[in-house]
Chains A and B, each alone.
Chain A
Amino acid sequence: MNRRALAGLLILLALLVAAPALLGGYGLSVLILVLYFAYVGQAWNIMMGFAGQLSLGHALYAGLGGYVAAGLYTHYGIGPWMGVFAAVGAAVAAGAIVGYLGFRFSLAGVYFALLTIAFGEFTRIGFDNWTWAGGSGGMFLKVERGITDLANLRGGTVMFYYVILAMTVAAFLLCRALLESRLGRYWLAIREDAEAAQAVGVPVLWCKMLAVTISAALTALAGVWNAFYYNNLFPETAFAVGRSIEMTLSPIIGGLGTLFGPFVGAVVLTGMGEIFTDLSDQFHVAGLKQIFYGLALLIIVMYRPAGIWPWIAARLGFEEKRK
């Protein structure tokens, strides 16, 4: 990373840290959305952007993480900082199962993607019928207003903002470290050509398993954060295919396999979402927001198929090619 890029990054970080003081409640809630999508996008990018495995079922890991932590909290009073271990454990186990079955039977590309969807749907319907988790009626966390209890993750928007900011920064640093490690390079090699990678000694199955479990673990953290931020969980939304697809958009739009892509993609997508909400509010036509959104996606994928960030980076003089 060159000096200019580092300076830019530090300014951005300072602005993000100062944001609660600079922005109103609405601005902060939008920024929270941006960071959330940047974070889950970063987690998903490990699988697809680095290791080249298309998962369209990441809602499974977020949903499991959220349900486990929220369930432990509401049923047994176990706080999220403890519950998070169980949450991550559950997601890693699920990721390991999906990954092992998929990779062992060498399902690739679309087939693997459809397997991930199938597991997500399977779990969704299971939770719909599971009373402990509240069934289709959902699970609710007790809302306590006016307190900030970081130990139990109960508090206001500002607290949740800083938690997701810390998570996003940590995920960025982790991904950067991973990319500059043997494992990261092995992932890139697998993404480019798994057979050639194996011939130069890359243990392909093992590396793919690490990709899916690390990605699942990070995604589960987002699920925990999400459950405690919104205080409710429904199988219909937590495990929805739409939720999984949402997670893929920021990195694809921003630039697959790049470190900044997920963040840039999240800024663009969330920004567009807010603008389109305002726009469509003036017309009172159902679905108009989504139509704008669909058009924007169409235009981006047609004219910037490699993502927005590599294009911006080249213009700003920060070289970050798709690794």
Chain B
Amino acid sequence: MSGARLELSGIGKTFRGLRAVHDVSFAVPAGTIHALIGPNGAGKTTIFNVIAGVFAPTAGTVTLDGRSIAGLRPDRVCDAGVGRTFQIVKPFKGLSVLENVTVGALHRRPQLGPARAHAEAILQRLGLHDRRHQLAENLTLPDRKRLEVARALATEPKLLLLDEVMAGLRPTEVDVMVGFLRELSAQTGLTILLIEHVMRAVMALAAQVTVVSYGEKIAEGTPAEIARNQAVLDVYLGHEDPA
């Protein structure tokens, strides 16, 4: 597993004339962790969905290691090496935790046996192994978030898109997740793009931060730079929940 470079250039997306995202460009070098932040409704998840192939962009290009992935179907985007989680978790409720992750692992391992073994290894790393025979619908929210990450990782992505995986976690759980992601990035060189409201996690993880508001990019820089950026402060001060 190693990371890939993601590059978005001039991305736009309109829904029936409503502009959700306009002219957003940023690049995530291979093996780095990048955060996408902004107030609710700023268009962060839309950008994710454009990268992941849920929507084709109405303008602009998305490339992964120089190869265009814009407009591909989600399963093709996964083929190309992008794994994602959902903001509102989507476990396969009626399947066990192990089966959930096995489905992801089957993507690059067509045989059930090896896929299951790979899934078990990932569950070990995420600390879900002792719950592997539980039905996914019986998991607690923090565990469901971890399951989302485990299932995405099982597809062996080069780029991991994490949509608010810290939301709803207690501070200690946030620290565990931060530690896991940092280790994952260091060990595998995986590229990670995360949407996050939990600033503690953003500060601790991200090398670079892109800020969007009303569908447009308003700032980019290191976490420290962003924390001092006046435009960003304006957006967040006008917002009741700077988290």
Contact = CB atoms under 8 A, between A and B. Distances in A.
**A contacts B: CB pair < 8 Å:** yes
Q: Is the interface of A mostly helix, strand, loop or mixed?
A: helix
B112 A182 contact: yes
Contacts of B102: 185
B57 interface: no
Interface string A149-193: 000000000000000000000000000000011100110110111
A189 B92 CA distance: 6
Interface stretch (A77-85, A201-209, A216-224): A201-209
Given A181-B112, A193-B90, A201 B95 contact: no
A305 to B, nearest CB: 14
Interface in B47-77: 52, 54, 73-75
A199 B86 contact: yes
A199 B112 contact: no
Contacts of B110: 182
A256 to B, nearest CB: 11
Contacts of B74: 195, 198-199
A323 B96 CA distance: 9
A200 B95 CA distance: 15
A322 interface: yes
A196 B104 CA distance: 10
A196 B147 CA distance: 12
B154 A200 contact: yes
Interface residues of B, number: 30
B194 to A, nearest CB: 16
B106 interface: yes
Given A192-B94, A322-B94, A186 B103 contact: yes
Contacts of B106: 182, 185-186
Question: Interface size bucket, A side?
Answer: 20 to 34
B86 A201 contact: no
A181 B111 CA distance: 7
A268 interface: no
A107 interface: no
A189 B54 CA distance: 18
Contacts of B83: 199-200
B94 A200 contact: no
B112 A200 contact: no
A61 B215 CA distance: 50
A198 B86 contact: no
A198 B79 CA distance: 11
A72 interface: no
Contacts of A323: 95
B132 interface: no
A200 B103 contact: yes
Nearest to B80: A201
Nearest to B108: A201
B73 A192 contact: no
Contacts of B151: 196, 200
A288 interface: no
Given A180-B112, A199-B78, A203-B75, 19 more contacts: A182-B106, A182-B115, A192-B91, A192-B92, A193-B90, A193-B91, A195-B90, A196-B86, A196-B90, A198-B73, A198-B75, A199-B83, A199-B90, A200-B83, A200-B107, A200-B154, A200-B155, A201-B78, A202-B75
9 contacts: A182-B106, A188-B92, A192-B93, A193-B90, A195-B86, A196-B92, A199-B90, A200-B83, A200-B154
A-B CB proximity, top 7 nearest: A192-B92, A201-B78, A201-B107, A196-B90, A200-B104, A198-B74, A189-B103
